[in-house]
Amino acid sequence: MRKSLKAAFLSFLFPGLGEIYLRRFWRGVMIMLPVLLGIGVIIAMTIARVSEDLKKIEAGGGTVDMTTINHLANAISSGPSLYYKIILLLVMGIWLYSIIDAYRLGKKIESAI
């Protein structure tokens, strides 16, 4: 498999992996960091929202069972806030950039050989 295709595939699996494969370590890390940060923020926002909703349910005298948790998960996934959408779009944009960047870097390296 050519370096450019392998690098693009690795960046498809996770952004920055293709650049690291091509020995552009700092470039790969600089692509990985915002993606990891974005995913972390989404997870933290989700946990905070679920925790808040569970506390409200318990404070109202309700019980927390698997049905309640399932309803909460569906409510969160069906109506993400604007912050979720913006962060998700940024993560997807960086991911796409990483795939294209890794492919182009691989092509440059292949032509130099």
The structural domains of the chain, with segments of one domain joined by +, span 3-110
pLDDT of residue 71: 73
pLDDT of residue 80: 67
DSSP-derived letter for residue 4 is H
89 alpha-carbon distance from chain centroid:
10
pLDDT of residue 19: 97
Residue ranges in the chain modelled with pLDDT below 70: 62, 64, 75-80
State pLDDT tens for residues 3-15.
Answer: 999 999 999 999 9
Chain position carrying tokens 């796409």: 96
pLDDT of residue 47: 82
79 φ, ψ (degrees, to nearest 5): -135, 70
CA distances from 67 to 2, 43, 72 (A): 50, 21, 9
CB within 8 Å of 42: residues ≥ 6 apart: 84, 87, 88
Closest C-alpha among 99, 95, 97, 54 to residue 72: 54
pLDDT of residue 113: 73
